[in-house]
A and B are shown apart, each in its own frame.
Chain A
Amino acid sequence: MKMATTSKSKRTRKSSTPAYVPPKKLPISFTVNGQEVTAEAPAHTSLLYLLRDLGFTEVKNGCEAGDCGACTILLDGLAMNACCALGVQAEGREITTVKGIGTVDNLHPIQVKFIEHGAIQCGFCTPGMIVAAKELLDINPNPSRHEIKAGIAGNLCRCTGYVKIIDAIEAAAEDLSSKKGKRK
């Protein structure tokens, strides 16, 4: 009813600027780090904005253009740039952020090695870097240094010069493969 009257008045309106109609909000639900989340957002909202607005601010916004990797998350286990998808595309999907890999109280070996090797300076690239490292080591548990470089090619770091990050991922790979068998 309300819709019909608005569109009618719009048609008879003389002014050249149409009345502002706020973008329609769509319901969205998915899981983040195993927790079910429901939200409402206009369709044009990027997954990055949606996640940050919902409080998952560990997903960083560095460029909104796919270039920096600060927004890297896992979508159904596959690494992707949250800034390159619409929030509504995540409907029903499973999202993992860096906090789903390990928390302050329960650090993942990759995170431990980042700390030990001084691979974190300002820390802005770290959440994305760790998610990218996680996918790399899931696919290739014993990467060469060259393969590590190729694996984090989509993640920029403006502080460390990368060497310490590569050292940390190398050490994490060793640690994880020595623990293999003990872990599930």
Chain B
Amino acid sequence: MRGFDFVAPTTISATLKAAKGRNTKFIAGGTNFLPDLRHQHDGPAKVVIDLMRVSALQGISSSKGQIKLGALATMTDFLTNKIILKEAPILAAMSEKFAGPIIRNRATVAGNIIDGGPAADAVPPLLALKAKVRLASEKGRRTVDLDKFLTGYRQTAIRSDELITAVTFPSPGRNHKWGYYKLARRNAMAITVVGVAVVLKVRRKKVEEAGISLGSVTAAPIRCYEAEKILEGNVVDLELAQKAAEACAAVATPIDDIRASAEYRKLMCEVLPRRLICQALDISQDND
């Protein structure tokens, strides 16, 4: 993909107009784009559209219980933004384990979702928060649940003329419980072996609503609906946490690769969710 043209619009409408043409491609932080450009020589793009100057895609806001992440919100924003630290600290915990500080300065949330790979780290916490993806094109706007947006290995429901404008999710409330774990070979700059995100809304000791998801063990990160159902409406004890953890492992279809065996990953899909649920709800575990 060489010799393309380049435009850097400053408004969403100018961006959508540019994206209408054939063979266009967006660039945001570039942390996937540039390594990809270097490895694939003859990609299709004729025009590359830079999103970094579109101010309407920046920022994180909260209104009426809905939190809105602009498409250009970065992993560094997740570590410093007051709304995130108060309302969705799981995103800060995820970001701390994401690449290293320099990549985090540029890696955007929309770029990570479009990455669509099994190990896209922002995705499991966003799935557990029940996030939606806001899309826009010159033909109109639509909102898609994140779990429906991810359609397969590095595949999403986005159309070629569409732009992610924002990612939204309902605030889980100041008193929600959560847990995040990135199992990897190193503490930084590592590809996730198993990622687990747990968000629990608790009222009078009962789990009212649960969001549980896994990364790196299926073609794209997934929500564990069965495990969520097992917890919902109940006062959770170790036995129930274990049942939910088994339901998590049941949906995992991991592969063997240089980082870990499928067998080990499968086992961790049970151990880690149980541990996170127990830690979040202050349930003591005998063998931890």
Q: Do A and B bind each other?
A: yes
- Residues of A at under 8 Å CB distance from B? 21-24, 26, 42-44, 46, 64-67, 69, 72, 78-81, 83-86, 88-89, 91, 132, 135-136, 150-151, 153-155
User: Which residues of chain B from 30 to 89 have a CB within 8 Å of any chain A CB?
Assistant: 30-31, 33-35, 37-38, 48, 50, 52
A-B pairs with beta carbons under 8 Å apart, 5 shown = A42-B2, A66-B31, A84-B106, A86-B33, A132-B101
Interchain CA distance A37-B5 in the complex, whole Å: 22
B9 at the interface (CB under 8 A from A): no
Question: Do B38 and A79 have beta carbons less than 8 Å apart?
Answer: no
Question: Do B101 and A154 have beta carbons less than 8 Å apart?
Answer: yes
Question: Do A91 and B34 have beta carbons less than 8 Å apart?
Answer: no
B92, chain A: closest CB distance, angstroms: 14
Question: Do A150 and B106 have beta carbons less than 8 Å apart?
Answer: no
Question: Do A154 and B38 have beta carbons less than 8 Å apart?
Answer: no
Question: Do B3 and A23 have beta carbons less than 8 Å apart?
Answer: yes
From B27, B50, B103, contact of A81 by CB (8 A):
B103
From A22, A64, A69, A89, contact of B102 by CB (8 A):
A69
B33, chain A: closest CB distance, angstroms: 8
Interchain CA distance A46-B39 in the complex, whole Å: 13
Question: Do B30 and A42 have beta carbons less than 8 Å apart?
Answer: no
Chain A residues, Cβ within 8 Å of B5: 24, 43
Encode contact with A along B1-31: 1 for CB under 8 Å, 0 otherwise. 1111110100000000000000000010111
From A23, A86, A150, contact of B101 by CB (8 A):
A150
Chain A residues, Cβ within 8 Å of B6: 26, 43, 86, 88
User: Which residues of chain B from 93 to 131 have a CB within 8 Å of any chain A CB?
Assistant: 99-103, 105-106
Interchain CA distance A132-B105 in the complex, whole Å: 12
Question: Do B35 and A80 have beta carbons less than 8 Å apart?
Answer: no
Question: Do B4 and A44 have beta carbons less than 8 Å apart?
Answer: yes
- Residues of B at under 8 Å CB distance from A? 1-6, 8, 27, 29-31, 33-35, 37-38, 48, 50, 52, 99-103, 105-106, 187-189
State the majority secondary structure of interface residues on B.
loop
Chain B residues, Cβ within 8 Å of A24: 3, 5
Instruction: Using CB atoms, name the residue of chain A closest to B99.
Output: A154
B117, chain A: closest CB distance, angstroms: 15
Question: Do A84 and B103 have beta carbons less than 8 Å apart?
Answer: yes
Task: Given A43-B4, A43-B48, A153-B189, answer yes or no on A84-B101 (Cβ-Cβ < 8 Å).
Answer: no
Question: Do A46 and B102 have beta carbons less than 8 Å apart?
Answer: no
Chain B residues, Cβ within 8 Å of A22: 3
Interchain CA distance A135-B35 in the complex, whole Å: 24
Chain A residues, Cβ within 8 Å of B105: 78-80
From A66, A135, A154, contact of B188 by CB (8 A):
A154
Task: Given A86-B6, A89-B50, A154-B188, answer yes or no on A44-B1 (Cβ-Cβ < 8 Å).
Answer: yes
B184, chain A: closest CB distance, angstroms: 12
Instruction: Using CB atoms, name the residue of chain A closest to B47.
Output: A43
Question: Do B4 and A84 have beta carbons less than 8 Å apart?
Answer: no
Task: Given A43-B6, A91-B8, answer yes or no on A86-B48 (Cβ-Cβ < 8 Å).
Answer: yes
Interchain CA distance A83-B35 in the complex, whole Å: 8
Interchain CA distance A162-B196 in the complex, whole Å: 31
Instruction: Using CB atoms, name the residue of chain B closest to A83.
Output: B34
A43-B5, A135-B102 known, 12 other contacts, Cβ within 8 Å: A21-B3, A24-B3, A26-B6, A42-B2, A78-B105, A80-B105, A84-B29, A86-B48, A132-B101, A136-B101, A150-B101, A154-B189
